[in-house]
Amino acid sequence: MNFQLSEDHIAIQQAAREFAENEIAPSAVERDKTGEFPTEIIQKLGELGFMGMMVSPEWGGSGLDCVSYVLAMEEFSKVDASVGVVLSVNNSLVCWVIETFGTAEQKEKFLKPLASGKVIGAYCLSEPGVGSDATQQATTATLQPDGSYLMNGAKNWITNGTTATHYIVFAQSEPGKGHKGITAFIVDKGMPGFEIGHKEDKLGIRSSDTCSLGFTDVRIPADHVLGAVGQGFKIAMETLNGGRIGIASQALGIASGAFEKAVKYTFERHAFGKPINQLQAIQFKLADMQVKVEAARLLCLNAALKKDAHESYIKEAAMAKLYASTIANEVANQAVQVHGGYGYVREYLVERSIRDAKITEIYEGTSEIQHIVIARQLLKEYELQQG
């Protein structure tokens, strides 16, 4: 396993870093206050190829590997985790699923504009009464004589919910079959009966939009079925495996951004007649933070390398998300502590890292679910080894 970055990887990392510092950072504080969606930033990211990084150029993407994606996600999320999650959803949960399970016609119609950043997408699995147990989909899609479906129900906590053009929606199409009766659909904004709820007022990642969605007799054409009928739950779980790499990288970016701010501040702040980085108590904090950030980065890269090698990465992605989200909260908390009272005010920026970090332990599979995924995979691997 080689973690040495290639020249191409370094170039992508540098390009993402420069864009984050020059284009994202200037408006990040104000957007955090107002909750304004970063429309122009997302458009520019699309023009640069970051909205469909791993999609084949045949379908409007950049044709890059998952390692490149991890590197870019970290750099963007260092500066603004809201931009990071918009990027992650479009790349991991929307573009990937259409390229993997969609027909050629669906890729031409939906994937090309999504991968090129002309429009963005949303992934709709959670419901008001359905969180971690995604098998219990209450949204229904009833087959009609003409082959279309009538969709009824509601979805909750949908990232890009108000700004997306295309939505990957999971619904129960064959109620008697349980999770084997769930089907994935592509739903377009503007379809009659499809309503977008109010934007949630969130603790963190405030510049990204999160809302509920309602479906009342929304007629879904037969050619909007994604994958096979009844394959939806399998599609959802496979998609989330890759999505966890994106959120792990977002968490890594939050942690590394907070850490870098803390290190910088220790050179500026003096106490007892010297910079506070000369105090052992502060040095110990910085050392612990560095170890955690670097360990999270290696876990993210390991999962990405597994995915790029077309090997099973279920456990690795879950480990990366579990650890990176945990240390994002820990490192953000310690970065505020290093800043002392200044860390508690918005002027010094690190307080936002605490607010942004928390969600990474919740969405795309809570930390509790990651423990279950990891345990199941390691036990399965042990049984296989034992023959």
What pLDDT does 133 receive?
85
Q: What is the pTM of this model?
A: 0.96
Which are the catalytic amino acids?
Answer: 364
- CATH fold of 122-232: Butyryl-CoA Dehydrogenase, subunit A; domain 2 (2.40.110)
What pLDDT does 3 receive?
76
CATH code of the domain made up of 234-386? 1.20.140.10
What pLDDT does 387 receive?
76
Structure tokens at 344: 């508690």
With CA atoms as reference, report the closest residue to 370 among 303, 299, 321, 304: 321
What pLDDT does 194 receive?
98
Q: Which pLDDT tens digit goes with each residue over 224-275?
A: 999 999 999 999 999 999 999 999 999 999 999 999 999 999 999 999 999 9
The CATH label, of 1.25.40.90, 1.10.150.20, 1.10.540.10, 3.90.105.10, for the domain at 7-120 is: 1.10.540.10
What pLDDT does 72 receive?
98
Distance CA 3, CA 372 (A): 28
Which parts of the chain register pLDDT below 70? 1
Domain 7-120 shares a fold with domain 122-232: no
Q: Where are the domains of the chain?
A: 7-120, 122-232, 234-386
Structure tokens at 161: 């919910």
For the residues of 200-242, what is the DSSP string, one character each?
P--SS-TTS-EEEEEEEEEEE-GGGEESSTT-HHHHHHHHHHH
What pLDDT does 1 receive?
64
Measured CA to CA in angstroms, residue 266 lies from 126, 255, 302, 308 at distances of 42, 17, 32, 39
Distance CA 226, CA 7 (A): 37
